[in-house]
Amino acid sequence: MIRALAYWLFRYRRTWQGTVVVSVANPLLFLLAIGAGLGSLVRGDVEGVSYLQFFAPGMLAAAAFQNAFIDAGFGVASARGRERVYQTAVATPLSPGEVMGGHLLFVALRVFVGALAFVVVMALFGLVSSAGTALALLLAATLTGVAPAAAVAAWAVTVTDFPRLNTVFRFVVMPMYLFSGTFFSVGQLPAALQTIMYALPLWHGADLCRSLALGTATPGMTLLHVAYLGVLGAVGVLIGRVTFRKVLHV
């Protein structure tokens, strides 16, 4: 698995500076424009805090989720398709499972770096109360991205038709991004929609990050969120082992 990760690190060597700039610029712009800018139009508090305080941790989770989808979805599909990275790797002693594991580790690293940049920017806005909170947010956001990434990779390796990824991005990822308690509380949605959002991964990630940032986390809810995301990740890996083998050892 580490051997397969090494390949991605070699590639990353060429591009990491650029991605770090994007990772910092993105949250900076979002927090300025929506948190501070648009948020100034929000009268009073949201759940007892300013809009910026409410919005930032939700956005942290949503950004991790979106980055993970892009890396695990588009990244995996092109590694299998146009770039043929996987076909090259499975001609060596590496197994399809290791090829997947190496790529997922790389996705995790990228999500982690993105989350780190985001948390740093949040701290600059005075939104992180302590180093402990910063660390907890960092881990929570990474988990929010990595858990669904495994399932996304398990599916994306079977996709030969690239536009399908775009379709899923537009009609599955974007709605989750908008309605999972990122920009506003899920409590404002109609009851039926609320139930759906509670069942989806991003709400768990957003709520986990927000409760940690605002100091409202309870052991019960934190455990629920972490368990949900952990199980999702484990199931994704199990499915991925099957789909990667099917596609790469035909």
Partner 1 sequence: MALIEAERLEKRYPGTDFTAVAGIGFQVERGEAFGFLGPNGAGKSSTMRMLACVSQPSGGSLRILGENPVTHGRALRARLGVVPQDDALDLQLTVRENLIVYGLYFGLSLKHMRAKSTELLEFAQLADKAGERVEHLSGGMRRRLTIARSLVNDPEILLLDEPTTGLDPQARHILWDRLFRLKSVGVTLILTTHYMDEAEQLCDRLVIMDKGLIADEGTPRELIDRHVTREVLELRFPPGEQEQAAEKLGGDVEILPDRLLCYADDGDAVLARATELGLRPLTALVRRATLEDVFLRLTGRSLTD
Among 1, 3, 16, 113, binds partner 1 (CB under 8 A): 3
Cβ nearer to partner 1, comparing 92 with 188 = 92
Q: Which stretch binds partner 1 (CB under 8 A): 9-17, 60-68, 186-194, 227-235?
A: 9-17
Q: Which of 37, 40, 92, 195 binds partner 1 (CB under 8 A)?
A: 92
3-class SS shares of the chain: helix, strand, coil, % to 5: 80, 0, 20
Among the listed residues 126, 130, 218, 249, the single contact to partner 1 using CB under 8 A: 249
Among 77, 89, 111, 134, binds partner 1 (CB under 8 A): 89
Q: How far is the CB of 66 from partner 1 (least distance, A)?
A: 24
Q: What Cα–Cα distance (Å) separates residue 186 from each residue in 4, 182, 183, 204?
A: 40, 8, 9, 11
Neighbours of 29 (CB within 10 A): 11
Q: Point out which span in 56-64, 82-90, 110-118, 221-229 binds partner 1 (CB under 8 A).
A: 82-90
Q: Which stretch binds partner 1 (CB under 8 A): 4-12, 38-46, 57-65, 211-219?
A: 4-12
Longest dimension (CA), the chain: 61
Number of residues engaging partner 1 in binding (CB under 8 A): 22
Contacts of 222 (CB under 8 A, 6+ apart): 208, 211, 212
Q: Pick from 154, 141, 144, 61: which is nearest to 101 by CA?
A: 154
Q: For residue 31, how many C-alpha atoms fall within 13 Å in the half-sphere facing its CB? A: 26
The answer to whether 160 contacts partner 1 (rule: CB under 8 A) is no
- Find the binder of partner 1 among 94, 115, 134, 157 (CB under 8 A): 94
Cα distance between residue 174 and residue 217, in whole Å:
26
Q: List residues near partner 1 by CB under 8 A.
A: 3-4, 6-7, 10-11, 14, 83-85, 87-95, 248-250
